[in-house]
Amino acid sequence: MLRLAADTDPAWVRAAVSRLDAVLLDHMHCEKKAAATALSLINRYPFHAELVDRMVEHAAEELDHFRQVLAICRARGLTLGRDSADPYVNRLLEHARRDEPARLLDALVVAALIEARSCERFQLLAAALPDGPERRLFEELLPTEARHYALFMDLARTYCGADAAAHRLDEYAVIEAAIVRSLPNEPRVHG
């Protein structure tokens, strides 16, 4: 169901499991940024009623994920640091168009692909980790991220048309796959 054009390299799973603290700290910031992205879409498109309603709910849900990951980081005694630049997201956004209506379509498709990649990676982490609160967290978040992917694609179809949404998803999935393959396998959710 997820339209990813490349699977994650097993080397990433090994890197992530061996440096789980770093992954969790990065994951915590990802959840916070997901909530912030939802709010920025409301800010940019207040006249799209369905988008506003669904992004209000989405922001609340992502903030709740942030709280869950924060609790796990604290339970592990981790020191929270400032967020660092996310090369994966920055490189995805380099391909986003600036003029409407393409700007909205690209924002929604990029958000959908980020959710899809998170879902794929949570599945890999859940399978690789021993039983414990971290594995249970990833198992719990997995179906939610799949639902978020569907949410962003629903909005893309609503506001930009089914054909345009499907076409841009195909194009962007190829871009996303090339970015994922080129990144060093760092202990980050999208590293």
**Least distance in angstroms from the C-beta of 89 to Fe ion:** 13
Residue span binding Fe ion (CB under 5 A) among the ranges 7-15, 25-33, 94-102, 178-186: 25-33
State the Cα–Cα distance between residues 137 and 146, nearest whole angstrom. Answer: 15
Rg (CA), the chain: 16
Residues 65-94 that bind Fe ion (CB under 5 A): 65
- The residue among 25, 54, 30 whose CA lies nearest residue 42 is 54
Helix (H, G, I), strand (E, B) or coil at 92: helix
Site for Fe ion in 104-143 (CB under 5 A): 115
106 versus 115: smaller Cβ distance to Fe ion: 115
Q: Count residues contacting Fe ion (CB under 5 A)?
A: 6
Q: Which stretch binds Fe ion (CB under 5 A): 19-27, 46-54, 57-65, 71-79?
A: 57-65
H or E element, residue 61: helix 49-75
Q: Say if residues 51 and 42 touch (Cβ distance below 8 Å).
A: yes
Closest CA to 54 of 159, 160, 152, 162: 152
Taking CB under 5 A as the binding criterion, the range among 67-75, 120-128, 129-137, 145-153 that sits at the site for Fe ion is 145-153
The two structure tokens encoding residue 4? 């990813």
- The helix-helix angle for 20-44 and 133-160 (nearest 10°) equals 30
Please report how close the Cβ of residue 99 comes to Fe ion at its closest, in angstroms: 27
Q: How far is the CB of 165 from Fe ion (least distance, A)?
A: 18
Task: Determine if 190 is a binding residue for Fe ion (CB under 5 A).
Answer: no
Other CB atoms within 10 Å distance of the CB of residue 101: 12
Is residue 29 a contact residue for Fe ion (CB under 5 A)? Answer: no
Between 62 and 106, CB nearer to Fe ion:
62
The least distance separating Fe ion from the CB of residue 33, rounded to whole angstroms, comes to 10
Q: Output the six-digit token pair for 33.
A: 């940024």
For Fe ion, the closer of residues 42 and 102 by Cβ is 42
Q: Give yes or no for residue 148 binding Fe ion (CB under 5 A).
A: yes
Cα separation of 28 and 10, whole Å?
22
Residue 31 or residue 86: which is nearer to Fe ion going by CB? 31
Q: Which residues bind Fe ion (CB under 5 A)?
A: 31, 62, 65, 115, 145, 148
